[in-house]
Structure 1
């Protein structure tokens, strides 16, 4: 398996497990607001790793790395919330597709247009902004519209796809966009439906197999993320690494909302 995709897969599995068990890595016993991650907090993380690693069938070293990454991400989100309140500048995270996905962070006003945002990304990557397409909520952002008018918020996670120069690769990129849009639309439709007995078609269960009573929007986002992730794994098995990456990143974004 591609190393970058393997990392995405593990992060997703660990995050999914933490969400189901309502484990918050930015709170005690895993993080102390006064001391950060000291010996006691590190020991708690190690114990959590020992618990999750066999349950998820993940190598302990990869599991603890995922836990630390997820903890750092959570702490950075809290920090960016404070900056947003004080300055009005939003911190937007952009996953740039490639063999090894790159995470870029850009501070920008949400009243700016997509094109202005693309130019900031171009400065960081050295890639012409005209070759970059941004995807959020399964849709490509419109160039002349403001970010806020397209539902972008502080800490939003977007996916950037670099368009190929030749025609064949461009057609493949467009095909992946359509597949993502169609898949997400179908999944969200089913995730929000229930049968005659008022039971949801998709249930979220904890380790004991008990259905979790989650708020509607939280449950819908979680189910959508899980379904997109499974679609990504199926694409991975079929050797369609580009589509798998698109689905993995969109699933990751659903978890971040």
Structure 2
């Protein structure tokens, strides 16, 4: 018992010495504050200016002295669905690098399209190499009758109703370039508005001119001459004419 008491007293003395030597730490004041979220969560996601769509990813090679060099060719289409659309091609050793290059190239090659009623203003066609594309206006609610690259481009341009037909090569890159050529031929909103105002002005001018123009006077019609009287007059004129003189030659005079 004595040994156990001695051990307990020794432990107590050590614990008291440790508490005396340890520094006093102030207690944390608990406040009813919500925890701060990370900076990433605090940042609101800004809406993108353009929507992106990948048309195709192809592996391409280049023959070098040491062998073949493999790369990726990426074709991307971007658009805001409000009349602006663009296409770009990028090459890189990685797919992500090719996508970034293609997006940067597409932003430099934007085309403005007049999307008033959600369809094409008039029938249009375009050709690029062996691919040919036809675009025809459609009624509201018809939808996009198109496929492949043509459909993606028209969706990103903001066209909702259209009829289309592709002829020749079905290569996605050639079809995309043909559709962009067709969209470039369409008039923009400003040009279409100017044309409509010109037509209205011309129509109003014509109406004003018609009102100002004086009424035409009634012209008296000539009475037709009888055929018999005309025949008599012609016969009398022939009789009055003098007979033609005969030409005499030198031999006859002698």
The TM tier, using the shorter chain, reads: under 0.3
TM-score (ref. length: structure 1):
0.24
Q: By percentage of residues, which structure has more strand?
A: 2
TM-score by length of 2: 0.24
Kindly indicate whether structure 1 or structure 2 has the higher relative contact order, using CA contacts under 8 Å at least 6 residues apart: 1
